[in-house]
Structure 1
Amino acid sequence: MPHTYGYRGTYSLRSILSTKIRLAREWFMVWLGALGYAIAWLQRPSNSTERVRARCIINITKPILSQPKLEWLVDCGIPTWYPWGADEEERAKEDTDFAKLQPCSKMSPSNHLCSTAPLELQSKSLVRANLEIETNDDGMVHSQAEDYDAYVPRVPEWVKHFKDVKKMDDTWMGKASKHELAQWKSHEREPATRSTKVFVWELSDDPFFLFQRNPTPSKWRVDTLLSFSDNQKVYNAIHNEWDCCEAFSEPDDDSDDEQSCNTSDTVPVPESTWTAPKATERNRKIIYQLGDVEEAENNSHTVEPLVSSLMYSALDTFFEAILNRQEPTPSIWDLRDSCLRYVQTTSWFSTIRSIPVPLRTTPIVKETYKSQQKAHYYVFLLKNTSEPWTFATLSASTALLVCRMPREFTVADIAYRFAQHGILFRIFYPSNTLTRHHTRMPMHYPMPVWPFDHVFTKADYDAYVSMRTNLLSQSHMQAALKRGGIVWRLTITALGLNGATKMPTLYNEFEEITLGESLLVDDVVTEEELDLLCGVYLCISADGKQ
C-alpha cells in the first residue's frame, strides 16, 4: 500500500516528509493501476463504449497466462506501460509486428515512471503505450512506434559521488600520518553528530537530476540523523560527514523507537533517557517468542537483527525487573509519562469507561473474575465508528492491550484479533435493536457419571466430541468464542471466527449493562455449559456415598 512509504509519520525536516509523499504518490499510480485494471476487467460490458480509467504494467515478451493483449488494454482506454530492453530489441529484429512497439528515439524527460526506494540499476526502459490507436481495414488495432514515450532509468547520483570520495580517501590514506590514521579510526568508532556535516540525498525537481545532495543546517543535524535508520546513513570518518537517504535501504523495524546515532558529544542526555544495558540469557526464549523467531535459528538472518536491536535490550530489562519484583525503568514502561509511547496519549485510552458488572442472584452464570463484587467491564465508547455494538474487556490489563494495538486498527479489527488469539472480551448490542427469533429452549445435557475404576476408551472421547458438537450448534454458543482460554480453544475449530461480532440471540442466558440511558446486551455461557465443554464428569464410588 502507498502509505507504507511513511508519509503519515512526523519528521523534523520538511524535505524528508516531501520525499515520502512523492514516493507514495508515484507508487499510488502503480497501485491504482492494478486496482483500476481489475475493475475494468470485471465490470466493463463487451458492448459498452465507455472507457474505464485505469493504469497497468505488462510484460510483452513473457506474458502471464491471464494477461490480456495490449490492443485490448489500449481499446479499454487503460494507460499501459511495458519494459523495453535487450530482449525486446532482439525480438523486434525478427518480428515486424513486434517491432512496431519499439519506442521512438525522442524521449521526453517529463514523461516517466520513477522507481522507488531502494533504487537499483535498471537495464530496461519503461514504455507507455499510446492511447491514440489506429485501425486497419480488417478492423485490427495496431500501435505506432512514434507515439510512445520512454523513460530510461538512471543511476542515482550518489553512486558516482561515493566512487569519487573513495578514490580521494584512498589517496589521503596513503599520505596520512599515524596520528591522522588514529584520529580517523576514533571517528569511525564514535561518529560525531552536531560537530560534523550532514547531507541528505533528496529526489530532485530538476528533470536532469534524479537526486540532489543537500546540506543540513547545524541546528537540525542531530534531529536529521535520528530520523534515518542505521542502514539509511553513511558516515565518512576522513571527511567527518554523514550522507543520509531513505533510498539507501528500507528502514529498520525499530527505527522509530531508538536513537540510532551517538549524541553524547554535544547533546545533554535527559535523566529519563534509557541506556540499554548488556542483555542477559535468562529471557532469551521469551523474547524470541515475541519476535516470532525459532531458537534453533541462532545463526540465521532473522535472529541477529532482533538480538542487536534496542528492542531486545528493552524487553530483557523489562522482564528482569518483573522477575526481581522491581519497578521497570520509566522510559521503557508505557504506563509512565516519561516513555515515548505513553499509553495514555493513545486515542483509545480516552474512550475507556469502567462499569461495574451486575451482581446476579443465581450462580447460573459464572464469569472469570477474581472477585465478583469488584468486577468491572472496561467499555470503549468510540465516537467515530460504523459498528452498532460496543466493545468491552473484563480487565484493565486487557483494556491497555487494546490501546497498544496499531493505530490503523478499527474496533472490528481488534475484536477479530482477540477472537483469533483467545483473549476474553465482550460485544454489547443495544437491547432495542434485538429481536428474539425463537423461544428460549436451550439443550440441557446431563453431567456424565463414571465409577472410580472406570477405564476411559476412545468411545468415551467420541461420545464427548458428539455432545460438544451438539452443544456448540446452538445459536447462543457464539459467546464461547469470546470466552477465551480453554473454552475458546475447544470452540474455535467448530465455530471459526465468523460469529465473533454477531448480534446476541437471547436464546439462553445473557448479560445486561446500563450505559447512560441505553441498555446493552450480550450472550454469555452458563457454568453448566462451561463444564460440559471442558469435559467435566462426576466420579462416584460403588456405594454411591463418595
Structure 2
Amino acid sequence: ANIIQNSPPVDSGGGNKPDAAIHAFMARRNEKYKKWVASETLEHRTARLAREAHASKGAAPGKKGARVFVWEEEDDFLIRQPLNRTFAADRWDEFTPAQRHYDSWQNEWDLCTALSPEDNAGDDEDDDDADHGYILRPEPESPALPDIRASLSQGDDPFLDMEDIPYSRFGFTVPGAPAQYQERLRPDFSARSVGDEEWPGLQRPKYAHLPALLAYLSQAQSLENVPRELLDLRQDEADISAQVWSVSVQRKVLNGEALYIIQPCSPDDDPDLHILLSSAATTLEIVRSGWGSSSIQEIVFHLFKRGIEFRLCLRGPLCPQPRPPYFQTGLGVRPSGYKPTSLDYLAYESRRDEFLRSSRGRAARFAGGIVGRLASEGTDDELAARGPSGEIFDNGVRFWDGQSQAAYWDDALTPEEIHLICGVYVVNTGIYSKVC
C-alpha cells in the first residue's frame, strides 16, 4: 500500500500526519520521548514501566485500559483510526504480537499489519461483514463512586494552605506600625477574594489590614494609589523587588488580548515552551512563590492544582490560523420530557473519557474551572505538561501579536468538545434553539 504521499485526512484523534508511514510516525515519537526521559519524575516512570509490564502480556485492554488505534488500508493509503473497547477486543486476534505496538508514554496500542507484513494471524470469516467504525457503546455496569476520604492518606491535604494566599497572590505585607485606612473591603467580599468564604484567618490580627489592601487594589489606577506598607510591589526591600526571579515575564497583546508570557530562566528547559496567562495576580503568584526554578512543568502542576485557566504553548512559525477540527458526535438529542437514565451517564463517561485520552484531550486540563476538574481523572498530567500535541498546526489555536514572524501555538477545545466534557446534550423543547 502507498503510505507516503497524497493520503486522505487522518482521524482527528489519531495524532498522525496525513503523509506519514507508520514507521516514520513511530520514529518521530521515539525521538520526542528520548528528550522526555531526562525530566521524567520517578513516580511517572514507575507508573509507565508498570504499564509496559502489563502490556507485555499481550492481552486486549480492558474497559479502563489503554486506547487502541488500528491502521487500515483505504484507497491504497494507511489511515490511523481509533477503536472503542468493544471493537478493539473483537479485532485483537486479527493481529499477531509483532503487529501490535504499545506506547507506554501515551498509554495506547497501534495495530497494523505493516509492522510485520510476513506474519499471518489467520482469517476470521465472521469479520468479513463486520462494521469496524468508531461508535459509542456504554459499559454494562456503572462504576461505584469513589470514596474520596478513604482514598486520601493521613499526609494528604486536598486543599491549599490559605496562609500563603494573602502574600503570594496579593503581595500583602503587615504594616510595621499601627495604621488606619479609609478603604476596606466588606468581610464577605474579602473572604471570596482569597477563595474561602469560611476562612477564619480574616479574624486574626495578622490579617486585620488585608481588607484594606484588597479595597485599594480593586480601585487603584496605579501602584501609587496603594499604601506602600501594605503592598510588596511598592517596597524596594521586598523579595519580589530584591531577588532574581526564577522566570522571565513579558506582557504582550496577542489576538487582541493582553497576556503574560512566562518562561523559566533555567537553561535546561525547552526554549520554545511558554506559559500564557491573562491573570496578573496569578503571574505574580508564580514569581513570589518561586515556581519554575526546576522546570516549566513545576509551574504547570501548581496551576493544575489550583484549577486556573492557562496555556502551555509552543513558539513556532507564523502559519495561517487553522480551522477548528470537525467534531463528529456529541451526546445526541433527546425528545421533549426525556428523563436521563444510568445508561445515559455510562454513555457520557465512555464518550468523555475516550476524548480525554486522545492527543487533543490534554487541552481540557488547561481550561481550568469545572472543565479542568472533570478532565483531571481522564488525562495524564505529566504527559499534558510536556507540551502541545503534534496537531497544533492542523487544528490548534494561534496566538500572534500581528507583526512578529513567530507565534505561540496550543491545542484548543471546540464548544462541542466542552459540552461533551460537561455532559451537555440537546433536549427538544418545542422552542427553537433552546439547549438544556
The TM-score bracket by the shorter chain reads 0.3 to 0.5
| Structure 1 length-normalised TM | 0.37
Larger Rg: 1
Higher relative contact order (CA 8 A, sep 6+): 2
| Structure 2 length-normalised TM | 0.46
